[in-house]
């Protein structure tokens, strides 16, 4: 496992981290299908064994269940790991609410600390806050206060659109920004990643596998349907088919000792601005494949060029 600087924080992180959304399970919907806690714990321990020290979750994943599992697995290794979690989705009222007041953030932090069985959070992130809050300095006051109090070591925002990240960077001095980055979504490279890097702000690249489609495992199932509770359940069928077909255009990245999954992760790691990428990991087999990406050779200049060319051609997808 290779390690990178987490921006200007002085923290060193494994370049491949553990994405903890999926292990929250789908009991409350909006996840990635059913899970088995025994398998989830095995996945965490396998990641640790392979040198992973960065574990990212959110309080809303499984309404606290993802945090509980990480707390159980990491309690005895607390000094060896970096725990990142998120706040803002007020599931305590039943889900669907967003709250970013100081009172709520302090309340939710205590709940997360209890579930994670720790007395501090390494990286605390606002979870998909609206742009109107990202442009207000007072939004970040509580995070700076918690950092001074030693309750958190670093703070940032987890967002969807590069514009949101740029709004945060122009208003405050976040320690990190988390955003989707993958072969299908390289928009953050245009302005957000260089701006963050210049500011000494770490970048957490989530969804390097494009919600599972860059694993290539759906290639034989073009009429794929996801079960209830899966975040992909209500995606338009044409969109799902397009992602499956686009992934098939990338099979040239598969090598004897490198899977498409690993190539997709290496693509994200080719960006110097990325501090850590966090593929979703639900089993020990996932952990072994994901974490093993770090030790593989980088994608070649030719491979990166071919990916860029395909992306410009929209992966040769037919008009629908």
Fold assignment, 3-316: TIM Barrel (3.20.20)
Q: pLDDT digits over 116-146, tens only?
A: 999 999 999 999 999 999 999 999 999 999 9
- From the number of C-beta atoms within 10 Å of its C-beta (0-12, 13-18, 19+), residue 270 rates as middle
Is the dihedral angle over the CA atoms 109, 75, 85, 170 positive or is it negative? positive
pLDDT at 96 over 80: no
Residue boundaries of the structural domains of the chain: 3-316
- In angstroms, how far is CA 131 from the centroid of its own chain? 20
Q: What is the pLDDT of residue 35?
A: 92
Q: What is the pLDDT of residue 320?
A: 58
DSSP state at residue 298 = P
Give the span between the Cα atoms of 293 and 210, in whole angstroms. 16
Q: What is the pLDDT of residue 222?
A: 61
Give the span between the Cα atoms of 244 and 222, in whole angstroms. 7
Q: Which pTM does this prediction carry?
A: 0.96
Question: Active-site residue 61, yes or no?
Answer: yes
Farthest CA pair distance, the chain: 55
Beta-bridge partner residues of 204: 178, 276
Q: pLDDT digits over 224-237, tens only?
A: 788 888 899 889 98
Decide: 126 and 104 in contact? Cβ < 8 Å.
Answer: no
Mean pLDDT, to the nearest integer, of 239-249? 93
pLDDT at 211 over 90: yes
Give the span between the Cα atoms of 261 and 254, in whole angstroms. 9
- From the number of C-beta atoms within 10 Å of its C-beta (0-12, 13-18, 19+), residue 81 rates as buried
Q: What is the pLDDT of residue 280?
A: 96
Q: pLDDT digits over 172-210, tens only?
A: 999 999 999 999 998 999 999 999 999 999 999 999 999
Q: What is the pLDDT of residue 243?
A: 93
Catalytic residue of the set 3, 32, 61, 92: 61
Mean pLDDT of the chain: 95
Decide: 189 and 271 in contact? Cβ < 8 Å.
Answer: yes
Mean pLDDT, to the nearest integer, of 82-91? 96
Percentage above 90 pLDDT, the chain: 87
Q: What is the pLDDT of residue 234?
A: 87
């Amino acid at each position: 496992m290779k390690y990178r600087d987490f921006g200007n924080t002085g923290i060193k992180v494994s370049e491949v981290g553990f994405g903890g959304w999926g292990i929250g399970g789908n009991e409350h919907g909006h996840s990635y299908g059913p899970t088995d806690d025994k398998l989830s714990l095995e996945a965490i321990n396998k990641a640790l064994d392979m040198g992973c020290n960065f574990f990212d979750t959110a309080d809303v994943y499984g309404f606290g269940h993802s945090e509980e599992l990480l707390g159980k697995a990491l309690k005895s290794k607390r000094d060896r790991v970096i725990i990142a979690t998120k706040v803002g989705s007020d599931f305590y009222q039943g889900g669907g609410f967003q709250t970013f007041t100081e009172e709520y953030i302090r309340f939710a932090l205590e709940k997360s600390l209890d579930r994670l069985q720790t007395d501090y959070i390494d990286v605390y992130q606002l979870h998909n806050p609206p742009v109107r809050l990202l442009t207000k300095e007072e939004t970040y006051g509580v995070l700076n206060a918690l950092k001074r109090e030693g309750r958190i070591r670093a703070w940032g925002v987890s967002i969807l659109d590069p514009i949101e990240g740029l709004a945060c960077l122009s208003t405050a001095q976040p320690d990190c920004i988390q955003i989707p980055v993958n072969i299908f979504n390289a928009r953050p490279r245009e302005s957000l990643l260089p701006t963050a890097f210049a500011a000494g702000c770490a970048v957490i690249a989530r969804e390097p596998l494009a919600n599972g489609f860059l694993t290539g495992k759906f290639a034989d199932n073009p009429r794929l349907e996801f079960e209830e509770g899966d975040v992909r359940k209500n995606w338009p069928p044409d969109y799902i088919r397009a992602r499956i077909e686009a992934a098939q255009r990338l099979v040239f990245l598969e090598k004897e000792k490198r899977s498409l999954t690993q190539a997709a992760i290496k693509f994200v790691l080719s960006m110097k601005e990325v501090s850590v990428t966090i593929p979703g990991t639900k089993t020990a087999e996932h952990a072994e494949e994901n974490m093993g990406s770090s030790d593989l050779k980088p994608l070649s200049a030719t491979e990166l060029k071919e990916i860029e060319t395909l992306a410009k051609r929209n992966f040769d997808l037919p008009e629908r």
